[in-house]
Chain A
Amino acid sequence: MTRILDGFRDFIQAIREINEKYKTPRIKTTRMVSISLLMLRIYLLGMLLLLLYKFISVVTVH
């Protein structure tokens, strides 16, 4: 049990270190980069909403 907990703590620590290492995006924020990332966010949000709609419609039918 202690070994599992230690392993879990190490995993969380590793994630913290990754978050710290890549905290600042290195790419130069040009207009193209900003627009592309904004479009991607909108696209993903749209896909998420459609998936939610599908999930709700499947659940309510059953």
Chain B
Amino acid sequence: MNFTSKLFYANRRVVKFLRLMALIAGPGILVMVADNDAGGITTYTATGAKFGYGLIWFLVLLGPIAYFVQEMTVRLGAVTKRGHAEAIFDAFGTFWGWFSLFDLTLTDWLTLVSEFIGMTAALGIFGIPHWVTVVIVIVLMGVMVIQGRYWTWEKIALAFCVINLIYIPAAFLIHPNWSDVFRVGWLPHFPGGLNGIMFFFLMANVGTTIAPWMVFFQQSAVVDKNVKEKDIPWSQLDTGIGAFFTVLVAIFCIVVTAAVLKGTDIESAAQAAVGLMPYSKYAGTFMAIGLFDAGFLGAICISLSSSWAVGEVFGWAHSLNNKVREAPWFYAFYFFMLVSAGIIVLIPGAPLVTITLFVQVVATTLLPAALVFLILLLNNEELMGKYKNNKFQNVVTFSIVISLILLSTGYTLTTLFPNWLH
């Protein structure tokens, strides 16, 4: 037996594990990495520029929070074979069903606009006109879905997740003081004290961790991928890996801006990319590419999240495994969301700042409902059987959901009434 064969047989468990992982990995990694969307990247760059490495420890805490919430959608989707929108209609009736569906569609559309704002700003740095960016994005996303296979769509989307790691080389390019990163970043403290501005940034970072579309997206993706009950541990691992990468990208994003732009007020990630150029042209370029990729990943998941939800409720064929002629309404809705959001960004004088602020406000009206319904459904023995939440999971998820609701509501209130903090 040659050396390669010996090595293969010696490591066949690892090979089998990796093969299975390659088959099952997808929704968890995708949803978590897409969580670092254009808005998320802007929040991280602004946090790094304001507080340096001081809040890295806080971002590390957000990983498990995202994991515990998203893991519940895996179990719910795999056991019920229903998306979150359909599950809400079925369990809680039409009032909560229509409320969730309408609010999700509105939130998703507004978030899509903010993703287009990020993408056009990112490619604008390279001199690409906004309309060209919008057309490129719509064509790329169109090609990804109309080929008629969930598997292909997912693997292309995962390739875009790899590009999201571009913040790691960007951080190394600007040569930060790594001993400072570890000394300051991992020590839980609040630089400058727990004042109003600090509280605002903490809430903004929490607000980017869990968005309503993530709950709806992952549950629908689990159903579309036909994840079975026996696959739940694999999907949980998939979600865990995704949570790790989302935190990793966020940390490196903070390191990039903290090392060079500390003390600057950053209003957008594109502004951070331009600000990095004089220090390192490549780091600035990587930041801009990362911002485009973040917006693109966000757009991929968000547009599908509402198309799946509407398809489920209206009873349309709504799988990415369907060809366009088999699921015309599903694809029509997908393109309607995408094209209309893209057009808004191109309208001269469109209230883009107001839209960006409004996203958070609308999302906060939906997030508590989506999370509370998730916990109630996960506690329903009739529905979940042996996969219902145990005591430990309930204690953890209840604490997380209550904290998320309080902090995201606080963030919205300070967005609406900024003077309350002073």
Contact = CB atoms under 8 A, between A and B. Distances in A.
Contact of B376 (A21, A32, A43, A44): A32
Nearest to A46: B409
B376 A33 contact: yes
Interface string A12-25: 00100011011111
Contacts, number: 56
Interface string B6-29: 000000000000000000000000
B365 A22 contact: no
B405 to A, nearest CB: 8
Interface string A24-59: 111110001100110110011001001100100000
A17 B42 CA distance: 43
Contacts of B364: 47
B313 A25 contact: no
A28 B91 CA distance: 9
B327 interface: no
B361 interface: yes
A33 B361 CA distance: 25
B322 interface: no
A40 B368 contact: yes
A26 B380 CA distance: 11
Interface stretch (B92-100, B200-208, B221-229, B333-341): B92-100
Given A14-B314, A51-B361, A27 B89 contact: no
B168 interface: no
Given A14-B315, A40-B372, 10 more contacts: A18-B94, A21-B89, A24-B93, A25-B93, A26-B91, A28-B380, A43-B405, A47-B412, A50-B416, A51-B416
B416 A22 contact: no
B89 A22 contact: yes
B143 to A, nearest CB: 28
Interface of B: 89-94, 96-97, 313-315, 361, 364-365, 368-369, 372, 376-377, 379-380, 382, 405, 409, 412-413, 416-417
Nearest to A58: B416
Q: How large is the interface on A (under 10, 10 to 19, 20 to 34, 35 or more residues)?
A: 20 to 34
Contacts of B372: 36, 39-40
A47 B365 contact: yes
B69 to A, nearest CB: 16
A37 B92 contact: yes
A18 B314 CA distance: 7
Given A14-B314, A36-B376, A22 B417 contact: no
A26 B90 contact: yes
Contact of A25 (B92, B405, B412): B92
Interface of A: 14, 18-19, 21-28, 32-33, 36-37, 39-40, 43-44, 47, 50-51, 54
B412 to A, nearest CB: 8
Contacts of A54: 416-417
Contacts of B369: 40, 44
B409 to A, nearest CB: 8
Contacts of A23: 93-94
Contacts of A22: 89-90, 93-94, 97
Contacts of A24: 93
B368 A32 contact: no
A28 B365 contact: no
A23 B93 CA distance: 6
Nearest to A43: B368
A27 B380 contact: yes
B260 to A, nearest CB: 37
Contacts of B409: 43, 47
A52 to B, nearest CB: 11
A43 B416 CA distance: 16
A21 B378 CA distance: 22
Contacts of A40: 368-369, 372
B365 A44 contact: yes
Contacts of B412: 47
Nearest to B316: A14
B251 to A, nearest CB: 32
A14 B101 CA distance: 15
A13 to B, nearest CB: 11
B99 to A, nearest CB: 8
A53 B409 CA distance: 16
Interface pairs A-B: 5 shortest CB-CB: A25-B93, A27-B91, A22-B89, A54-B416, A19-B94
